Structure 1
């Protein structure tokens, strides 16, 4: 057996025994509950045999429709033991999206999270011919006519009581596993069309896990990580598998809304996240600095200057820090940075990988100055996540790092980033035409992202090629760069830049509503509703001034000439965001067409 994932949990159970592999917050009692490596391996064993008894066979696709919980990882590794693929469905998916994936992947067995997920699955059962069984992690009420669902405990009991022939069959499948077996289908979030299932064979993971250990030299089994991005996202799935491969304890955060409390309670040394998390941290810290007295502000400014010199001018490039600078840094670290990191819950921090969208240079430099080791990276579902990331020494702010070992990157036509190597998908499930389009004639994967490689070998992203647009004056605009810059502001939550074939650039902006209410109270601005507040001329003038400051350095044709404030956020439910929280530009252009036209009618 050459597949790392297939026997991973058992190998770690032999090595670590009763040491904690996972921890989760028990909803009934609230404290964090540990699951040992031995218990984890026993659950995987039972689940693997239960799947076999329910009719799972090699090359089947096993669906998982749930928010993060330990059972999601048990289901994954039980599927691998049967040479079946795990197909993660975002817990925020609609009825239509769930049914699309079940039908596309031909899912026979589906794990569900909450009662709501169970009810969506029950409806899907009548509309999806392949679906035969539901395994419910957390079902409060079983529908009266339901003979097709097992609770997770009933499912594990089925495995525990498996006859010897089931045990032998699962072992035979483990022994016969090959690198070409599909490990998982990762459905892309579909910003411009229907989702596609990227097929990632076991060979991708058998390549990528050692690559990460080789690149991320500071991580070890002494680290801990918190899992809060969805495990249906390749970034979190891949990172969590790296953690398990290294022997790290993983805290599984069940409720994304509780993440800030969870981080403070668990104080992880590692955590992967999207830039939006750090943008919010930055905005909160800036707001706190704004409320400080003059002496405190001077102290913080001095601390940041010292932190920047020490961490960016010396540590970043491996230079020895001068003794006096090191003494100054330790002084400020104890009085300014450590309290700041404690408030966030990352006072024991090692590395914090971030990817999925651009992170502004300002925020990146600020976090590094504070001793928060943000590791910017770049990757896609189709590349088993990481293509590039910051090296421990010699990273360049403004880039997404250098290529990880044994992966190759080159720049093709229209500055498109092309990738080759052992971590690239074999294609899109059931979509031969889309697969053919995704590769160059000589086999390089087309990322759809534009970029360039600098003189240090680091990759610089310029934009998503499909997002690039041209104004009616013939000027190309990269909207993500503008959106990322505006995202630094404490009063701006979400931005959609508009301007394709238009005479100038505009934006639909969702303000940070709580911060806006606070501002209105301070300035004694009266309003009856959020719609009333975002229409207020004083509010619009304030946002305009902040945009003008943020846009310094942009060419005149890139600057936002007009904008419209919305009284409510873009959401997945509203259709404006994908499950990975990327903006669906076609939806926004259609949904807010009247508001957009009004910005060009003047």
Structure 2
């Protein structure tokens, strides 16, 4: 039976009590090998960092920025800082110089911890431009830059003096004191620093840990950025339970790392699962004859899979397809049945159905950084997985709806506020303590939360009708021929869309339809391909209200990524940036 803990660092105490001999608590990839850290290693290195920082004069409330990819040292830092009373400010390693300097200065950072030498070379010049330049430490070993190897030595040297001080800080730290500031990825405007307390994070992680069916003798792969509260909270969940955490080398090595460590699950955002889905679909197109026929039947069955159909005939059909097709998918991912948590934005129903049919069980949840983050999630323990919803609200939290359908929530998960921004805090947390999420939703069957759109993203046509773009975008992306899209039309007579095709599928279609060898730009401009993509838009229009119809679409060959600023770090559309990028096309559409 899991016990809720009060502080982040209490997780270490519980791990030491329950799993003192666990040898692979935290693991990272190095070449072809996994470097494994035991529970004892985790406890030891975390304490040494706490002792070292304390001995250097850093204390209660000082801010420490971390910039690195997922790795065990991130956890050592997280725990060490919390024990020493410092505030952890985890930041993406892919931000621009302007974003870094803003966060460094706004957070009053005194220490910047950087993962690798290449990251150091990018960030060190920015640190020198700070209003009050901070001290830099490197996680990787270095003979020229002060690094964690040096900090561990300092921690060992001062342990006798610093250990009582750290224990005193821990004993005196209140559960509602801030332990982290997380800067929102910012799809609009300047990022805000969300202040979260020990209780915020531990209450929330415990709330979803009790719904987890993966056991302490199993493994989860982690690849979403730990600096985002979603993956961070899941990592706390794994530590609550004692699940081994394996950090993928990168998103590009996801399949390899899943297979290599034989993981029992992971958490993801819909875009990652969409890419996996597309690769599975593409695999069937290269088959011939009987194999292609079987794959097609299994594919169609999975896309329409009903998790609640318990008939013997239905189950037998699923088992046959599993032996012939789905088991091969799992073999390529390590061979295990998996539990996958999806969050960050809505996911297409067909993807959940397909993965569930293949015993890669997807459970969709919902939350936001300001809610630490989980507000609702489908429950594996209860076997509840209502497709199209994000499950029931978390226990001991309140949920209600404003008159316009906005989701409001209240409870121990709601943030302390925005750092240095009481006005913005008052805008989202009302006088009754309810957090205004900015999302529109409703309850299905009176208990399962369904998200319909972002309040700020809904726009009004010049005719007075409202359009929810995210709903339409998700419907368009149900086609394998559309990789991404952006619905526009605010203050215009009709809605339109800018579309990036899935060129792998579109080239396959072109070959089957005799278009010859074309590059992406030629294919996107080919009249037959344009007409074909228009027919997909028309299919979507047939499911929409007349005022929601996409009257015009334009095809582009660009990439939308966090690195070029068109997607957030969690792969959501940055609508203002996209509007600016395609201002010429938009003007042409509505001329």
More divergent stretch after superposition (400-409 vs 374-383): 400-409
1:324-345 Cα distance to aligned partner (Å, 9 max, x none): 54444333322222112223x1
1:281-320 aligned within 5 A? 281-293=276-288, 295-296=290-291, 299-300=294-295, 303=298, 312-314=307-309
In 1, the alpha carbon distance for the partners of 2:54 and 2:289 equals 68
Partner of 1:317: none
Match of 1:264 in 2: 259
- 1:551-577 Cα distance to aligned partner (Å, 9 max, x none): 442223222222222222012232211
The one of 372, 391, 410 equivalent to 1:384 is 372
Which of 161, 165, 168 is equivalent to 1:169? 165
State the shift of 1:379 in Å.
0.3
Q: 2:8 aligns with which of 2, 5, 8?
A: 5
Quote the Cα distance in structure 2 between the aligned partners of 1:494 and 1:445: 31
1: CA distance, partners of 2:461 / 2:304: 41
Task: Kindly provide the CA deviation profile for residues 222-281 of structure 1, in whole angstroms up to 9, marking residues without a partner as x.
Answer: 221111000011110000110011100000113222222112212211210001111122
Structure 2 residue 108 is matched with structure 1 residue 118: no
- TM-score under structure 1 length normalisation: 0.91
Q: 2:300 and 2:522 mapped to 1: Cα distance?
A: 41
- Say which SS state the counterpart of residue 272 (structure 1) adopts: strand
Q: How many residues are aligned here? A: 585
Q: Map of 1:243-262 to 2, 5 A cutoff?
A: 243-262=238-257
1:509 maps onto 2:506 in alignment: no
Name which of structure 1's ranges 538-547 and 322-331 shifts more when overlaid on structure 2: 322-331
Distance 1:155 1:515, change over 3 A: farther
Q: In structure 1, what is the Cα distance between the partners aligned to 2:323 and 2:336? A: 13
1:237 aligns with 2:240: no
Distance 2:319 2:5 in 1: 47
**Equivalent residue number for residue 534 of structure 2:** 544
CA deviation map 1:121-165 (0-9, x unaligned): 3223322234431111247795xxxxxx51221222221222522
Deviations 1:467-497 (A, max 9, x none): 0011122221111111112223333222111
Change in CA separation of 1:367 and 1:44 when aligned onto 2, cut-off 3 Å: same
Q: Structure 2 CA distance, aligned partners of 1:238 and 1:157?
A: 30
Alpha-carbon distance between aligned partners in 1 of 2:407 and 2:532, rounded to the nearest angstrom: 39
| Structure 2 unmatched ranges of 5 or more | none
Q: Assess if the C-alpha contact under 8 Å between 1:304 and 1:370 holds in 2.
A: no
- Give the equivalent residue in structure 2 for 1:25: 29
- Among 131, 134, 155, the alignment partner of 1:132 is 134
Q: Are residues 1:193 and 2:197 paired?
A: no
From 543, 550, 561, the equivalent of 1:571 is: 561
Cα distance in 2 for partners of 1:407, 1:450 equals 18
Cα displacement (A) at 1:419: 0.5
Structure 1 position 450, deviation (Å): 0.6
Structure 1 unmatched ranges of 5 or more: 143-148, 315-320
Partner Cα distance (2:560, 2:260) in 1: 30
1:407-458 deviations in Å (ceiling 9; x for gaps): 1111113110001111110100110000000112211000000111122411
2:67, 2:16 → 1: CA distance?
27
Distance (Å, rounded) in 2 between the aligned partners of 1:115 and 1:520: 45
Q: Which residue of 2 aligns with 1:206?
A: 202
Which has the higher mean CA deviation after the structures are superposed, 5-14 or 171-180?
A: 5-14
* Further displaced range: 201-210 or 116-125: 116-125
**In the aligned structure 1, how far is the partner of 2:149 from the partner of 2:446?**
54
1:77 to 79, 88, 92: 79
Q: What is the root-mean-square deviation of aligned Cα atoms in Å?
A: 2.4
Is this contact kept in 2: 1:215–1:405, CA < 8 A?
no
Aligned-pair CA distance for 1:64: 0.5
SS in structure 2 of the partner of residue 287 of structure 1: helix
Distance 2:65 2:164 in 1: 24
